[in-house]
Amino acid sequence: MAAYLSFKEIWRNKGRYLLFSMVIALITVLVLFTAGLGEGLASANKEYLEKINADLLVFQEDTGFSTLESRLDYNTLKQVRRWEGVADVGAIGFSNVTILFTNGAEPIDVSLIGVEPGKPGAPPAFEGEALRSKQSKTTIVDGRIAGQANLQVGDTVVVKTTQGAEDEFYELKVSGITDGRQYFFQPSVFVPLEIWDEIRPKADITNNNAPLLPNILAIQLQNPAAKIEIGQYLESRVDNIEIADIKTTYEAAPGYAEQQSTLNTMKGFTFLIGVLVIGGFFQIQTLQKVAQIGMLKAIGTSNHAVANAAILQIIFVTIFGVAIGGLATLGMAFGLPSSVPIVFTGTAVLIAVVALLLIGPIGGLVSIRLALKVEPLRALGM
Amino acid sequence: MKTILETNNVTKIYESGNLVVKAVDAVSISVQAGEFVGLVGPSGSGKTTMLAMLAALLQASDGSLKIDGYNLSEMNDIERTRFRREKIGFTFQSNNLVPYLTALENVELMLRLNKKYNRKSRQHARDLLLRLGLEDRLDSLPSQLSGGQQQRVAIARSLIHDPSVVLADEPTASLDTERANQVVGIFADLIHEQNRAGIMVTHDLRMCKYVDKVIQMVDGRVTNIITERAAIDQLASSSKLAEAPAPKAKPVQQPQSLLAHAMPNLVGAAG
Is B128 part of any domain? no
Contact B85 A300 (CB under 8 A): yes
**d(CA B212, nearest CA chain A) in Å:** 25
pLDDT at residue number A211: 83
- A&B contacts, CB < 8 Å: 78
Q: What is the ipTM of this complex?
A: 0.82
Give chain A positions within 8 Å (CB) of B55. 298
Of B84, B100, B113, the CB nearest to A1: B113
Is the pLDDT at A18 greater than 90? The verdict is yes
* pLDDT confidence band for A366 (50 / 70 / 90): confident
Could you tell me if B156 lies within 8 Å of chain A, comparing CB atoms?
Answer: no
Nearest-angstrom CA–CA distance, B93 and B97: 11
Our CA-based measurement puts residue A293 at a distance from the nearest CA of chain B, in whole angstroms, of 9
Q: Please name the residues in contact with A94: beta carbons below 8 A apart, sequence gap of 6 or more.
A: A67, A68, A111, A112, A113, A114, A183, A184, A215
Domain membership of residue B229 as a residue range: 3-97+165-267
Q: pLDDT above 90 covers what percent of chain B?
A: 57
Residue pLDDT, tens place only, B87-144: 999 998 877 899 999 999 999 999 999 999 988 999 999 998 998 888 899 999 999 9
Mean pLDDT (whole number) for B211-233? 92
Across the interface, whether the CB atoms of A299 and B90 are under 8 A apart is answered yes
Measured on CA atoms in the order A223, A227, A228, A232, is the torsion positive or negative? positive
Q: What is the mean pLDDT of residues B20-37?
A: 93
What single-letter DSSP state applies at residue A349? H
User: pLDDT for A20-73, tens place per residue?
Assistant: 999 999 999 998 888 888 888 888 888 899 999 999 999 999 999 998 899 999
Strands of the sheet containing B165-169, edge to edge, are: B88-91, B165-169, B197-202, B36-40, B213-218, B221-226
Question: CB distance B113–A300 less than 8 Å?
Answer: yes
Higher pLDDT, B251 or A272: A272
Q: For residues A111 and A187, is the Cβ–Cβ distance under 8 A?
A: yes
- Report the alpha-carbon distance of residue B165 to residue B67 in Å, rounded: 8
Min Cα separation A4/chain B (Å): 9
CB contact under 8 Å between A291 and B95, yes or no, is yes
Q: Could you tell me the CA-to-CA distances from A269 to A273, A326, A353 in Å, in that order?
A: 6, 19, 15
Q: Within 13 A of A149's CA, how many CA atoms are on the CB side?
A: 27
Q: Which run of H or E residues covers position A222?
A: none
CA distance A291 to chain B (A): 7
B55 at A interface, C-beta within 8 A: yes
CATH value at residue B251:
3.40.50.300
Query: For a pLDDT cut of 70, what percent of chain B falls above it?
Result: 87
Q: Quick check: B258 pLDDT over 80?
A: no
- Give the rounded percent of residues in chain A with a pLDDT score beyond 70: 99
Mean pLDDT (whole number) for A65-93: 90
Domain residue extents for chain A: 2-45+256-379, 62-239
B270 at A interface, C-beta within 8 A: yes
